[in-house]
């Protein structure tokens, strides 16, 4: 099953988790640093958004996308998920 995290080995999942997580942090920090440039608000929006997407993708490698989405839309987390996506 393509969407199942178990099709990847544990080492591969952890490796891609780390890569995506670090990329997310770097993009978020870069976006924040670019905020002070002219037209920096647009660069901030792009890089900060990419950082958040990369950070979310990182946990998909550990849990799998279906389990990730089920956890995100759990009634306890629904408000936080909607706020983050909006």
The pLDDT assigned to 4 comes to: 53
Gap between the Cα atoms of 31 and 43, Å rounded: 6
Q: Of 11, 16, 8, 29, which Cα lies nearest the Cα of 59?
A: 16
Gap between the Cα atoms of 57 and 54, Å rounded: 5
The pLDDT assigned to 1 comes to: 44
Tokens 């178990």, residue located: 6
- Summarised one tens digit per residue, pLDDT across range 6-59 is 677 888 889 999 999 999 999 999 999 998 888 889 999 999 999 999 998 898
The pLDDT assigned to 6 comes to: 61
Verdict on whether the full-model pTM lies above 0.95: no
């Amino acid at each position: 099953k393509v969407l199942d995290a178990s099709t990847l080995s544990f080492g591969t999942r952890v490796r891609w988790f780390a890569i995506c997580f670090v990329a997310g942090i770097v993009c978020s920090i870069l976006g924040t640093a670019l905020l002070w440039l002219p037209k920096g608000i647009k660069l901030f929006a792009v890089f900060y958004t990419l950082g958040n997407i990369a950070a979310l993708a990182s946990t998909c490698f550990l849990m799998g996308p279906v389990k990730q989405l089920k956890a995100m839309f759990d009634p306890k987390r629904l408000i936080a998920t909607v706020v983050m996506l909006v």
